[in-house]
């Protein structure tokens, strides 16, 4: 026995979404044997765009029963049935959340007519209810109303049952098939083809746009975990997943670095963390036409040999202010007080007057050299060797002069004499705050 369900809600996402109408048809595979349809008072405002779509107004639901008043009826009529809906996880999860808010656990076996249609009627341009019904010549009495859509889903399901010569429905109901938990737009074969190795995976929508990037030690296992996650963000994302691609990395560290870079490059819809690049800042020195040594800062990619690197402008300025105080340097020539003839610190006797020609250039430059020496030049060259993507190669991460250059792969038999030689095989990457955090975490543990 099947309960074919459709609901209308207050929004097009999961957050704070409440039911405004529900329709349930009890179907034995051939005929409808019972029905329950009702408007529902959502106890919140209905957005105008939803009213325009469904025709359900706040006035219509004002005197309608609240969900708790019909919950018992819904539980009874769907008891011992298989829950069927077009994009089943949407309807099922919202109804389950309504029951959960009342302290009850709603559990039913599920079938999705989107996923069934993709298997039994392959090759359609779209598997939306409207498109399938148009293709199949199924009339929808009232589109975007619960009863009209539920009746159309019943007829669609009836036809799917008749055409199910390969017992697709039975296979979907097999708990081991995972069909009930997979995103409605995702072909199961895509999941089956995922490797169980280190790498980065990409969730894509129907337009082939990347909507999420993740890293994994076991790509297939990590991808599957998204489909079982009950968080509202994960549910919303799963509704849009139509394809998955991946890149094997050979190691967790390279996967972490690659994931971070891809998120900043692709800016996926469902990745919030790490989307900002947080570009590094470099401290450097140069000599002007008068021969005065300056300490200055700029974006790291514009500085070939920085004295130090920082991951915020505030941290860089803070250190420069401390250097000025410790070595009595001039804020004007440390670029802390630009566009002034004489620095304010000279009036406070905290600068010896290089900016007012009260100190010799030679004397001032000596203190600048002392200040630079106190910082210590970042000349660390580091190669972190990792597992490759196969038995014939090594993965590596390259750091030159304290700056992350990127990662790459080389044949195990290849002998390189110096860190600079690895530049020929590296995939160039940007150094930023997140990369710094990942590498520091790795090095502290290893």
Q: How far apart are CA 390 and CA 231, in angstroms?
A: 36
Q: Which pLDDT belongs to residue 239?
A: 87
Label each residue of the chain as H, E or C. Answer: CEEEEEEEECCCCCCCCCEEEEEEEEECCCCEEEEEEEECECCCCCCHHHHHHHCCCHHHHCCCCEHHHHHHHHHHHHCCCEEEECCHHHHHHHHHHHHHHCCCCCCCEEEEHHHHHHHHCCCCCCCCHHHHHHHHCCCCCCCCCHHHHHHHHHHHHHHHHHHCCCCHHHHHHCHHHCCCCCCCCCCHHHHHCCCCCCEEEEEECCCCCEEEEEEECCHHHHHHHHHHCCCHHHHHHHHHCCEEEEEECCCHHHHHHHHHHHHHHHCCCCCCCCCCCCECEEEEEEECCCCCEEEEEEEHHHCCCCCEEECCHHHHHHHHHHHHHHHCCCCCCCCCCCCCCCCHHHHCCCCCCHHHCCCCHHHHHHHHHHHHHHHCCCCCCEEEEEECCCCCEEEEEEEECCEEEEEEEEECCCCCCCHHHHHHCEEECCCEHHHHHHHHHHHHHC
> How many angstroms separate the Cα of 128 from the Cα of each of 14, 23, 118, 132, 148?
19, 19, 11, 6, 15
Q: Which pLDDT belongs to residue 64?
A: 96
Q: Which pLDDT belongs to residue 274?
A: 67
Q: In what order do the strands lie in the sheet with 382-387?
A: 382-387, 393-400, 403-411, 426-428
Model-level pTM?
Answer: 0.68
Q: Which pLDDT belongs to residue 376?
A: 59
328: left (phi over 0), alpha (psi -120 to 50) or beta: left
Q: Which pLDDT belongs to residue 14?
A: 47
- Residue 139's contacts (CB-CB under 8 Å, 6 or more residues apart) are 133, 152
Q: Which domains does the chain have, with CATH numbers?
A: 2-177 (3.30.420.10), 188-266 (3.40.1440.10), 281-375 (no CATH), 382-445 (no CATH)
Residue 26: phi, psi to the nearest 5? -85, 120
- pLDDT 10s digits, 330-381: 999 999 988 888 888 877 778 898 998 899 999 999 999 999 888 754 556 8
- Nearest one of 260, 314, 285, 262 to 432, comparing CA atoms: 260
Q: How far apart are CA 107 and CA 104, in angstroms?
A: 10
Q: How far apart are CA 371 and CA 324, in angstroms?
A: 9
Q: Which pLDDT belongs to residue 293?
A: 94
User: Which regions in the chain score pLDDT beneath 50?
Assistant: 14, 377
């Amino acid at each position: 026995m099947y309960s074919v369900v459709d609901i209308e809600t207050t929004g097009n996402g999961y957050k704070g979404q409440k039911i405004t109408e529900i329709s349930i048809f009890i179907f034995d595979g051939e005929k409808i044997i019972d029905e329950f349809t009702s408007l529902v008072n959502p106890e919140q405002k209905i957005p105008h765009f939803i009213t325009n779509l469904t025709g359900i107004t706040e006035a219509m639901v004002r005197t309608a029963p609240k969900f708790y008043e019909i919950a018992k009826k819904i539980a009874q009529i769907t008891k011992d049935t298989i829950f069927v809906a077009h994009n089943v996880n949407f309807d099922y999860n919202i109804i389950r959340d309504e029951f959960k808010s009342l302290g009850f656990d709603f559990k039913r076996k599920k079938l999705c007519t989107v996923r069934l249609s993709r298997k039994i009627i392959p090759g359609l341009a779209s598997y939306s209810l409207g498109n399938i019904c148009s293709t199949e010549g199924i009339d929808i009495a009232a589109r975007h109303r619960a009863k009209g859509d539920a009746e159309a889903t019943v007829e669609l399901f009836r036809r799917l049952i008749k055409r199910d010569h390969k017992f697709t429905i039975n296979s979907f109901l097999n708990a081991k098939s995972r069909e009930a938990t997979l995103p409605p737009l995702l072909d199961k074969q895509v999941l089956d083809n995922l490797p169980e190795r280190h790498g980065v995976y990409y969730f894509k929508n129907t337009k082939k746009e990347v909507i999420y990037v993740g890293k994994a030690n076991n790509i297939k296992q990590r991808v599957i975990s998204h489909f079982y996650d009950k968080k509202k963000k994960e549910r919303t994302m799963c509704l849009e997943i139509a394809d998955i691609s991946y890149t094997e990395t050979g190691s967790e560290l390279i996967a972490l670095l690659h994931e971070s870079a891809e998120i900043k490059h692709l800016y996926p819809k469902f990745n919030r963390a790490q989307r900002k690049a947080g570009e590094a800042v470099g401290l450097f020195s140069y000599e002007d036409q008068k021969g005065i040594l300056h300490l200055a800062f700029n974006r790291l990619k514009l500085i070939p040999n920085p004295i130090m690197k920082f991951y915020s402008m505030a941290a860089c300025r803070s250190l420069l202010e401390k250097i000025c105080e410790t070595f009595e340097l001039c804020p004007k020539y440390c670029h802390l007080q630009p566009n002034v003839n004489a620095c304010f610190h000279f009036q406070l006797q905290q600068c010896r007057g290089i900016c007012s020609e009260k100190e010799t250039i030679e004397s001032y430059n000596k203190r600048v050299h002392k200040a630079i020496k106190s910082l210590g030049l970042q000349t660390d060259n580091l190669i972190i060797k990792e597992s490759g993507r196969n038995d014939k190669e090594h993965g590596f991460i390259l750091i030159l002069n304290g700056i992350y250059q990127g990662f790459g792969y080389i044949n195990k038999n290849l002998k390189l004499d110096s860190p600079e030689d690895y530049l020929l095989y590296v995939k160039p990457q940007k150094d930023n705050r997140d990369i710094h955090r990942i590498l520091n975490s790795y090095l502290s543990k290893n």
